[in-house]
Amino acid sequence: MIEIEFNYNQLITNIQAKMDDLFQDVINKYLQKSSLESDSVNFIVNGKMINPNESVESYMSKLDKENKKMKILVTMIEKDDPNKEQVIVKSKDIICPQCKEPCRITTDNYKIKL
């Protein structure tokens, strides 16, 4: 048996599993315990997204196997809300698309001055 530590917003939840278990079973146990929705979170281990159809052992490093402990980062999936209104304000200035600040460009007699 190994201990899998799920870290969601610095809230640690420990789940015990066998090395040959599928990650889907372990994820289901975690979701039951944490009362999160499965389609609203991602699971990341060693910098890679977890494929639920693979075994726990396939994602374990050599150090994880020695310590019989594994850490998984749980992140929320940001979804675009269709009901959320986008506020667009018409500006007299030219707005930079990257930093959203007014540009230091002026126009005088149809000529651009910096």
Fold type of domain 2-76? Ubiquitin-like (UB roll) (3.10.20)
pLDDT given at position 11: 92
H helices of the chain, where? 23-34, 62-67
What span, in angstroms and rounded, lies between the C-alpha atoms of 93 and 105?
9
47 dihedral zone (left: phi>0; alpha: psi -120 to 50; beta): left
pLDDT given at position 114: 67
End-to-end CA separation in angstroms for the chain: 67
pLDDT given at position 38: 84
What span, in angstroms and rounded, lies between the C-alpha atoms of 3 and 39?
24
pLDDT in tens, the chain (114 residues): 999 999 999 999 999 999 899 999 999 999 999 888 888 899 999 888 999 899 999 989 899 999 999 999 999 887 666 666 666 777 777 788 788 788 877 778 888 776
Domain ranges in the chain are 2-76
Contacts of 98 (CB under 8 A, 6+ apart): none
pLDDT given at position 97: 78
Give yes or no for a contact between 41 and 24, defined as CB atoms under 8 angstroms apart: no
